[in-house]
Each structure stands twice: as C-alpha cells, then as structure tokens.
Structure 1
Amino acid sequence: MESVLTQLPALLGVLVGTIGTMVATTVTERARWRRSQNVRWDERRLDAYADFTRAVKEIHLVSLGMLSGHRPGSRTPTLDREDGLARLAEADVRHTLTWEAVLLLGDATTVRAASTWRRAVRNLEQAARSLPTPPDNLAAMVGQADEARDDFYQAARDGLGVGGGTVEQFRRPVEGRIPTARH
C-alpha cells in the first residue's frame, strides 16, 4: 500500500497531463474549425456580394443607357427602348436570384445597404421604363443610386474585414458644391 502512495503523485501528474492535453487539443480543434468556417462563409459572402453587384450594376447601366438622351452631358451611349426593356427583363432575373444569396449570407448592415442601393436603382429602372417622359429629378435619382452603391461597397468591405482606402466613386456634397458622379 505504501508503494501505491509513493507513486500517487506521479499517477496524478500523468492524469492531469492527459486531461490537460485533451482539453488543449479540443480547444485548438474547435478554434481551427471556427476559423475554417469563417473563411468558408466569407468566401461565399464575397461571391454573393459580387454577383449581386454585377446584377444591380447591369440594371443601373441599362437604365442609364435608356435615359441617356434625357441627361445633359451624359457619356453613356443611348440604348433603344425595346432593346433596353429586353435587357432589363433578363437582368431582373439575375438580380432576383442574387438578392436571395445576399439576404441569406449578408450581415444586417450590408443587407440594409444593399436594399437601399437596390431601391435607388429600381427608381432609375422605373424612370427608364416610363419613357418617353423622364422624371424631373433624374440627376438626383442618379446621385442617390451612386451614393447608395458606395454605401453598399463600404458595408460589404466592413463586413468582410477588407481594409484599404475609400471606395467612394460618388463625390458627396462639400460646402454647397454640387456632387458629380464618376462612372
């Protein structure tokens, strides 16, 4: 019995070491799994945002092409109404499908920004569909869509942890200066 008592500290040391190793391995594996999942979902989120961006930008550009004749100084080539309507219909399908992925994978801030951009571009699309009578506030509508795009890009970058400089393509008003959009 005395030999068991003398070996008890060594046995307890082995037991504590084994338990410590098991705990450390479990914690490490869980952390590795979480990192792997985060990378996986970030990649899917990036793909969803990029697909959504292409679809909304297509609707934006087609609408601007249809409205080009009503926008003084526009550099966008004028697009025939019938061709534009057909292209809008095709782009709408892609947009609807990509929107679902953004809703499913996006964080709340990015989804809100995407929704705002989507609404602003929808307004341009509706204006293009209502031709030959363009709205009086067409320049403001274009500015709203451009500003909403910048806000979406920033929210998506923040949500994905992408650093770097500004993504603004729309110049925000500064002390009474009229904003201009760069396309």
Structure 2
Amino acid sequence: MSDFMEQLPALLGVMLGALGSYVVVMRGDRARFRREHAARRQEQQLAAYTDYALTLKKTVTLHRRVAAHLGHDSYPHPLPAAEAAPLLLDAADSRSVAGEGLLMLGSPDVVEAAHRWALTVREVADLLRGPACTADTWQAQIEKQRMAREKYYTAIRHDMGLPPGHSGRWH
C-alpha cells in the first residue's frame, strides 16, 4: 500500500497533464472551427452581395443600351426596346434569385441599401418607358442610380470590415 501512496502524486500528475492537454486541444479545435466557419460565412456573404450587384448592373446596362437607342445615353451598344424586353425579363428573374441569397446572408444595412438601389433601378426603367424621358432627366436618374450603387458598396465594405473602396466613377 505504501508503494501505491508513493506513486499516487505521479499518477495524479499524469492524469492532470492528460486532462490539461485534452482541454487545450479541444479549445484550440473549437477556436479553429469558429474561425473557419466565420471565413466560410464571409465568403458566402460576399458571393451573395456580388451576385445581387451583378444582376442589378446587368439591368442598368440594358436600360442604358435602350436609352442609347433613343438618343438619351452615350452607351456604345444601342439596343431597341423590343430586343431588350426578353433580356430584361431574364435579368429580373436572376435578380429575384440573387435577392433570396442576399436576404438570407446579408446584414440589415446591406439589404436596406440593396433595396434602395433596386428602387432607383426601377425608377430608371419607369423613366425610360415614360414620355418625360429626355437626355437631362435620364442623366439625372442615372446619377441617382450611381449614388445608390455607391451606398450599397459602402454598406458592404462596412459590414465586411473592408477599407473604403473606389467610387466606381470613371472619367
């Protein structure tokens, strides 16, 4: 019995060391899992934000092509409204799908900025179909759309902790 009592402190030390090692490894694994999960979530968010932006950008580009056909825009590839109609329907369907990803993964501020941008794109479409569309009203509405797009990207950068980026205005 005395041999057992003499070895008991060493046995307890081995048991405490094993328990300590287990706790350290488990905490490290848990921290690594959280980091990897956060990185995957951020990648998914960025993909959702980008997909939605590309669908709106496609819609704006089609509207600019129609406006160029009407003489209101300087876009280099004019397109008659009749030819643009099926492309605009396709863009609207794509935007609807991309919007679901945005709603699932986006922060409230980004979703709100996306909604405001989408509303200005709808105003672009409404202006283009209406009788009040002139080169001046068109340029004013396109500028309003650009500002809404810039606010969307600013909200994304803020949400993702990115530094300020380019305004997207080319001279």
Per the shorter chain, which TM-score range?
Answer: 0.7 to 0.9
Alignment size in residue pairs: 168
Q: Could you say which residue in structure 1 is the equivalent of 2:167?
A: 168
SS at match of 1:22: helix
Over the aligned positions, Cα root-mean-square deviation in angstroms equals: 2.3
Q: Is the 8 A contact 1:153 1:167 kept in 2?
A: no
Residues in 1 aligned to 2:153 and 2:166: alpha-carbon distance in whole angstroms: 7
**Number of the residue aligned with 2:32:** 32
Offset at residue 101 of structure 1 (A): 0.7
Give deviations 1:129-173, integer Å, cap 9, x for gaps.
x2444278433322221011112122223333444x522125xxx
Partner of 1:175: none
Deviates more, 1:147-156 or 1:93-102: 147-156
The alignment's TM-score, normalised by the length of structure 2, stands at: 0.84
Higher normalized helix content (fraction of residues) = 2
Give 2:15's aligned residue.
15
1:100-139: CA deviation from partner (whole Å, max 9, x where unpaired): 11111112222122111111111112222x2444278433
CA shift, 1:70, in A, is 5.8
**Moved beyond 4 Å, runs of 4+:** none
Q: For 1:121 and 1:8, how far apart are their aligned partners in 2?
A: 77
Change (3 A) 1:84 1:132: farther
Name 1:179's counterpart in structure 2. Answer: none
The residue aligned with 2:98 is 98
The question of whether the paired residues in 2 share the 8 Å contact of 1:59 and 1:125 is answered with: no
CA contact (8 A) 1:67 1:134 kept: no
Q: Secondary structure of the equivalent of 1:167?
A: coil
Q: 1:1-183 residue pairs with structure 2 within 5 A? A: 1-68=1-68, 69=70, 71=72, 74-77=73-76, 78-128=78-128, 130-134=129-133, 137-163=137-163, 165-170=164-169, 182=170
TM-score by length of 1: 0.79
Alpha-carbon distance in 2 for matches of 1:82, 1:104: 35
- How far apart, in 2, do the equivalents of 1:34 and 1:126 lie? 46
Give the residue type in structure 1 aligned to 2:59: I
Asked whether the equivalents of residues 154 and 167 of structure 1 are also in contact (C-alpha less than 8 Å), the reply is: no
1-structure distance, mates of 2:65, 2:116: 22
Residues 70, 134 of structure 1: 8 Å contact kept: no
Consecutive unaligned residues of structure 2, counting only runs of 5 or more, are none
1:8-60: per-residue Cα shift (whole Å, max 9, x none)? Answer: 22122112111111111111111111122122222222222222111100111
Structure 2 CA distance, aligned partners of 1:131 and 1:66? 13
Deviation at 1:84, TM superposition (A): 2.2
- CA distance in structure 1 between the partners assigned to 2:10 and 2:74 by the alignment: 83
SS in 1 for 2:145: helix
Contact residue 63 and residue 124 of structure 1 kept, 8 A: yes
Give the whole-Å Cα distance in 2 for the aligned partners of 1:112 and 1:33.
Answer: 31
Specify the alignment match of 1:176 in structure 2: none
State the one-letter code of the partner of 2:148: A
Between 24-33 and 36-45, the greater mean CA deviation after superposition: 36-45
